[in-house]
Structure formats: C-alpha cells, structure tokens
Structure 1
C-alpha cells in the first residue's frame, strides 16, 4: 500500500519511508554500540510496533532475541480506561536480561509507564525504551525514552504500524488522514 492507494483519504505525508529508514539506521548503530558484548532482548508492543521492531532488528549487528507483548488501556472507545490489561504476556524470563522495549509511538505515556514498571519488577539487568515517534505535548507522565526516532506534533497519525480502525498499518510512511475518513 502506498500514497496513491489511499486516494483522497491521505491528508499529507509527515515522515516518508526514506526518513524513517535513515533514522532507524542511526538508532541501530547506537543500540549496537550501547549493547556491545551483552545479550539483548527486544520486546515489541503489539500491534503497532511490528514494523519498527522488524526493521530495527534487521539493522542490528548484534545477536538479539525478540519477544512480544500486547497490552490495552482502552475499553471499547478511543479514550483510555485508566486500567491496563495484559492481552499477551512475554514468553521469555527477564531475570538478569537486558531489555529494550520497542514502541511505535509514545503519546500520553500512561500505558508505557505501567509497562515499564511491570517489566522492571521481573528482575531484568536493565530496561530501556526505543520509540519511532513521540508526541511531547501529549505527555501526561514523564517516561524516560532512551532512543527516539522523531518528535511529532499532537495529531493523529497512521502508517508504519499505526492504524485507524485497524487500517493503514502497512503504509511505508507516517501520514495524517483527511477529515472525511473520521466522519465515515
């Protein structure tokens, strides 16, 4: 799927695929340097982080392991219920492990803050966070994110793993939707 496939549903491309890839190259080089000589476990947060995690993993030179977690803080609507539920837990024991949480986007930080505390309680050697996108103005709690791809304005974005009603995750870029899409 690309911009042409979206027709008039696409308002604008915020971050083209080339910029996303170039920034991931830089982050991967930094992760390789920071974790040299250590075993690293990447923990992807489903579903949004699938693209970011796959692309980051392919760029890393160090041997890594990967695992996935799915958490939800949204009930049936689009606003947080305030209660985080684990929908899919890790299969890996974190005891003594170096863990890098991989996220697609950090906005309020509420769910990520909870996830960080949860994983730290499992006895890892370290836990850090990498996110492709961060919305600083949307933060409700401060979460220390070690690796940030891009800081973006507080607007709803899709593509590169991010969805609207489970659509548009497979766009190779990050973009915004035209307002008529929300009205449907």
Structure 2
C-alpha cells in the first residue's frame, strides 16, 4: 500500500517558529554557558536551524540513543550509540529533539546528564506530541504541540525515508 503525505507545517511556518524559539532560548540563557545537544538522527535539520537562530554562541555536541529489545516494542533499556564528547559540567544543557512522543528518550537523557553536574537541563523539540506520552515530562521550548499523527519530514522519518523534506507532513495509510 502506498503512502500519502498531508502537509501539517510548511517550511515557512517552521522557519517563523524557529525564529521565535531562537529569541526565546537566547533570552532565557543570555550569555550563560550553553551547550546544545542534537539527538541524532531525526533532529539534525531542526538542530542546525535552531542553533543558527540563537544570538548566543553555544557549544554543540551530538548523541545517538539505541534501545535494546526484539521487534518494535520499547523495552525501556536505552544506551548511547554515540555519547557526548564535551563536558557539560557547569553549563546549561539544551537537548534538541525532533519529536517528543512517549518521553522515555528525553527522560533517559535528562537523568544521565544530571549526573554530570550541569547548571540545568532543558528540552527543545520541533514537535511536542502528547498522544502517546507515558511520562509526565515538560518540553520547555516546544516548536509545535500536537495531540496525534504520524509525522515525517524535516528530519523525521518512516523506515529512513522522508527525512529530507523541508516541511512536516502527516504520513497517511501507514
């Protein structure tokens, strides 16, 4: 069965929201030491755009998470397949995600990062999707808040497809 794409957020709407978020994040941190952490792979486009929208000069780093288990079920056992390369001690940490869904990945990152003595750990996500949220978790800097939908584009994928799209789409007929 083929998939159809229904545009949810155009590239112009995304660009406008990123500009607003950049101002909000810049105001929050001012000249405080900030490290922006990109959660690979999905956040790479959003991360590049949001860090360019900041008026400060943050450090940047990348993480990639993997979960262990069989099939498609989430086991709750997460590990880094790529960990940070810089110290976050005595710095504010901003986790930048493409989408926060269940909340487990961000909760895991926050828990691990807090053990490394940062000044604070907050989250910025392009999409704060609440439909499947299993954890009481706040996304301090949400791009867009949605209740439901299977989203692709602007870094988000389905079976490694659609990441390159410049807008966000709902994938129908999944």
TM-score, length of structure 1 as denominator length: 0.89
* 1:24 alignment partner in structure 2: 18
* 1:4 alignment partner in structure 2: none
1:1-184 pair list within 5 angstroms: 9-73=3-67, 75=69, 77-179=71-173, 182=174
Change in CA separation of 1:165 and 1:56 when aligned onto 2, cut-off 3 Å: same
Change in CA separation of 1:156 and 1:64 when aligned onto 2, cut-off 3 Å: same
Partner SS state of residue 81, structure 1:
coil
In the alignment, is the contact (CA less than 8 A) between 2:98 and 2:125 conserved in 1?
yes
Give unmatched runs, 5+ long, in structure 2. none
CA RMSD of superposed structures (Å): 1.4
In the alignment, is the contact (CA less than 8 A) between 1:10 and 1:175 conserved in 2?
no
Partner SS state of residue 112, structure 1:
helix
Partner SS state of residue 137, structure 1:
coil
Query: May I ask how many residue pairs the two structures share in their alignment?
Result: 173
Q: Distance in 2 between matches of 1:107 and 1:119?
A: 20
TM-score, length of structure 2 as denominator length: 0.94
Give unmatched runs, 5+ long, in structure 1. 1-7
Q: Distance in 2 between matches of 1:83 and 1:63?
A: 34
| Larger proportion of helix | 1
Q: Distance in 2 between matches of 1:76 and 1:170?
A: 28
In the alignment, is the contact (CA less than 8 A) between 1:113 and 1:143 conserved in 2?
yes
